[in-house]
Amino acid sequence: MKILLVNNTKIPVHLYGGTERVIWWLGKSLVRMGHEVTYLVKAGSTCPLPRC
């Protein structure tokens, strides 16, 4: 399944960031389950597994 996760902040967050942490772990878990995940997030974000 192809999944798009959308947020208007940078990920990953290094200090506090409740919503950002949920989006980050959700995407990583979905990739481990075999789904194709893409993040649509603020410029400057990095993500090793899903596309950003």
Domain ranges of the chain: 2-40
Q: Look at residue 1 in the predicted model and tell me its pLDDT.
A: 92
Alpha carbons 4 and 36: distance in angstroms, whole number: 9
Instruction: Give the sign of the dihedral formed by CA 14, CA 35, CA 40, CA 45.
Output: positive
What would the pLDDT profile of 1-51 be if each residue is shown by its tens digit?
999 999 888 888 877 778 888 888 898 899 999 999 998 888 888 877 767
pTM of the model: 0.77
Q: Look at residue 35 in the predicted model and tell me its pLDDT.
A: 94
